[in-house]
A and B are shown apart, each in its own frame.
Chain A
Amino acid sequence: DAGVTQSPTHLIKTRGQQVTLRCSPKSGHDTVSWYQQALGQGPQFIFQYYEEEERQRGNFPDRFSGHQFPNYSSELNVNALLLGDSALYLCASANGQGAAPSSYEQYFGPGTRLTVT
């Protein structure tokens, strides 16, 4: 049973550049959420995708955008990178959007560590 996978594991970019991060959800999961985690902080919610649409969004600027594909995999794009975008970017998957509490359980990939210089 494949877990959540993310690529790349590490990335170094320069200010002003653009970056694309990728995520494949856990087998059987159809909902993907993206988080940004700075050192010493809890994960900050960026957005969530379901049925190829952005369903929820956190307090992140439009420079952060995403996409979900028919196979449920997802991409996170960040434009015009700033030094403050340096963080661990985590992808989490869940099963369904129903009322069952278990549909809120999220399983994380290993993350992509982005460094902006």
Chain B
Amino acid sequence: RKEVEQDPGPFNVPEGATVAFNCTYSNSASQSFFWYRQDCRKEPKLLMSVYSSGNEDGRFTAQLNRASQYISLLIRDSKLSDSATYLCVVNRGGNNRKLIWGLGTSLAVNP
């Protein structure tokens, strides 16, 4: 089993739709969780950090379920500019500062 797993998609949604991505992680010692956004041939950009049960920033909501070891990202009122790959990132836990990256979920928002 991979340490961090995401559905690769692609997710094709119309403008204005609500879309949710899930990410599962295998290491119960993980403490820090992130969602990054990456546009084609660009660097990843930090979208949200998730330290407690959840975090909300405008149209974006991230939730953490430690018992089931998954995090989710909800995007409301999708915009064309939301089209990108969304990467789930988890720290390995303990004193290990290595971040483990998922392969990403591709989102295409259509007019």
Contact = CB atoms under 8 A, between A and B. Distances in A.
Interface stretch (A11-19, A37-45, A66-74, A78-86): A37-45
Contacts of A45: 98-99, 101
Interface string A73-116: 00000000000000010100000010001101111111101000
The bracket for how many chain B residues form the interface is: 20 to 34
B41 to A, nearest CB: 8
Interface stretch (B12-20, B42-50, B66-74): B42-50
B103 A101 contact: no
B37 to A, nearest CB: 11
B51 A42 contact: no
A106 B99 contact: yes
A117 to B, nearest CB: 19
Given A41-B103, A101-B31, A111 B43 contact: yes
Contacts of A104: 32, 34, 91, 97, 99
Given A101-B32, A101-B49, A107-B46, A42 B103 contact: yes
Interface of A: 31, 33, 41-45, 48, 55-56, 58, 88, 90, 97, 101-102, 104-111, 113
